[in-house]
Amino acid sequence: MQLRATNHMQYQDGMEKISSDIMDKVINGRKEYDYSIYTKKDVLNTLAKEFISVEDFKILLSPAAESFLNDMAHKAKLETMKHFGNSVCMFTPLYIANYCENYCVYCGFNCSNKINRAKLSYDEIEKEMKTISETGLREILILTGEAKKASSVEYIGEAVKIAKKYFSTIGLEIYPLNTDEYAFLQKCGADFVSVYQETYNTDKYEELHLRGPKRIYPYRINAQERAILGGMRGVAFGSLLGLDDFRKDAFAAGLHAYLIQQKYPHAEISFSFPRLRPFINIKEKRPNDVHETQLLQVMLAYRLFMPFAGITISTRERAGFRDNVIGMCATKISAGVSVGVGGHSEKEKGDEQFEISDPRSVKEVFDSITEKGLQPVFTDYVRV
């Protein structure tokens, strides 16, 4: 079978191409980023500034900043309190399907993996959402595998309509869409879209995404812009730290979000920082593994660079780490998580995408937030 059947930089039929120079700026910015040139003096000068520039962001992500995490954390906490107070938003993800058309070598949903595939019916979706809402949560993130034939836009739209009965904020983490499709889902009730580029290194991206629509780099990197053009009020960014040089990928994702914010100042920007986790194909250590201190450095650098942006900490990370970063730099935390299909009202119907590290319930996470003197928030958006 010929896996590399398509040019990863060339749009396929049906993929909308918008007029934007952001992709080129991000790719060039990543290539030009040399984090080895910065010194401790550069870090001290940056931390003394009130506003952090793109160049300062590069410095904060560099190895030279590793010995200044306490200083960065202190400054980041002040910024977080200034813009978000002591509130921490809570949500949970709901996987409604795990069918996938992509051959991504690192992913548990890889189309070649022999896993239990499943898709929730509308009745099952409603049952799951009702169960989740009974915990008090009012924000949900709807996820699918990347298979448009199995999980159509119309199917996702119906799931969003069901979610509107129970939740005030509805996010989507699905395959990239055209502007009109995002507009359709926004009219159904969706609020924001998360799309992770995985790695911004175009060559590495080609090596890792061998087949399927996800192979097309430019269509994916422009997804947030199409979502905003389709009326979504918020978009989330991130890279899968550990696939390639994490400092360069972290910089590229931050630059990507910054350029989108400059172009669309009304858009709500947020970040997530997934690290590569064990999954069905790979269990052993990997050469690009990112350690907790490095992950913390990245999160702190983002908070100082874009102080208004939301930062989500996922259950990929252990409970102690998650408890430590809320209030300091993270503003949103997941709880009561299942990463298989379903799993809230009954046993998971389909296999999980990756292993989680924090299996705590909504109540347990709620209690941990209050114990830190922070305010758990179930509703931060009211529909009118």
The tens digit of pLDDT for each residue in 352-363 reads 555 678 989 999
Q: For the chain, give the percent of residues with pLDDT over 70.
A: 92
Written as six digits, the tokens of 71 are: 């200083």
Written as six digits, the tokens of 205 are: 């991206």
The pLDDT value given to residue 228: 98
| β-pair partners for 119 | 97
| Nearest partner of 151 among 213, 233, 240, judged by Cα | 213
Does the pLDDT of residue 32 top 60, yes or no?
Answer: yes
Helix axes 54-61, 40-47, angle to 10 degrees: 130
Q: Averaging pLDDT over each range in 1-15, 246-260, 276-290, which range is the top one?
A: 246-260
d(CA 204, CA 248): 12
Between CA 335 and CA 340, with CA 337 as vertex, the angle to 5 degrees is 170
The pLDDT value given to residue 338: 83
The pLDDT value given to residue 344: 86
- The confidence band for 277, taking pLDDT boundaries of 50, 70 and 90, is low
First to last CA, the chain: 53
The pLDDT value given to residue 346: 83
| Nearest partner of 178 among 140, 142, 231, judged by Cα | 231
The pLDDT value given to residue 55: 98
DSSP 8-state assignment for residue 48: T
DSSP 8-state assignment for residue 378: S
Note whether 374 and 327 are within 8 A (CB): yes
Written as six digits, the tokens of 136 are: 């008090």
- Give pLDDT tens digits for 282-336: 445 555 689 999 999 999 999 999 999 999 999 989 999 999 999 999 999 999 9
The pLDDT value given to residue 348: 76
Cβ burial of 113 (10 Å; 0-12, 13-18, 19+) is middle
- Give pLDDT tens digits for 39-63: 999 999 999 999 999 999 999 999 9
The pLDDT value given to residue 382: 66
| β-pair partners for 313 | 333
The lowest-confidence range among 73-87, 124-138, 262-276, 339-353 is: 339-353
Cα four-point dihedral sign 14, 18, 24, 26: negative
Query: What is the average pLDDT across 144-152?
Result: 94
Query: What is the average pLDDT across 110-134?
Result: 89
Question: Alpha helix (H) ranges present in 85-138?
Answer: 122-133
Written as six digits, the tokens of 173 are: 């983490």
Q: Is 85 left (phi over 0), alpha (psi -120 to 50) or beta?
A: left
The strand pair at 310-313 and 375-377 is best described as: unpaired
What's the chain's average pLDDT? 92
Does the pLDDT of residue 157 top 70, yes or no?
Answer: yes
Does the pLDDT of residue 227 top 90, yes or no?
Answer: yes
Q: Is 343 left (phi over 0), alpha (psi -120 to 50) or beta?
A: left
Note whether 96 and 125 are within 8 A (CB): yes
The pLDDT value given to residue 339: 78
- The confidence band for 104, taking pLDDT boundaries of 50, 70 and 90, is confident
Count other C-beta atoms under 10 Å from residue 293's C-beta.
Answer: 9
Note whether 89 and 129 are within 8 A (CB): no
d(CA 222, CA 22): 8
The pLDDT value given to residue 102: 85
Count other C-beta atoms under 10 Å from residue 39's C-beta.
Answer: 11
The strand pair at 103-104 and 375-377 is best described as: unpaired
Between CA 333 and CA 121, with CA 195 as vertex, the angle to 5 degrees is 80
Full set of structural domains in the chain with CATH: 61-377 (3.20.20.70)
Query: What is the average pLDDT across 197-209?
Result: 96
- Beta strands (DSSP E) in the chain are 87-95, 103-104, 139-143, 169-173, 192-194, 209-211, 234-237, 268-272, 310-313, 332-334, 375-377
Q: In terms of pLDDT, which residue wins out, 347 or 115? A: 347
| Single-letter amino acid, residue 69 | L
Written as six digits, the tokens of 280 are: 């069905």
Cα four-point dihedral sign 60, 66, 71, 74: positive
Record the pTM. Answer: 0.94
The pLDDT value given to residue 2: 38
Q: Which helix (H) or strand (E) segment is 363 a member of?
A: helix 362-371
Does the pLDDT of residue 281 top 80, yes or no?
Answer: no
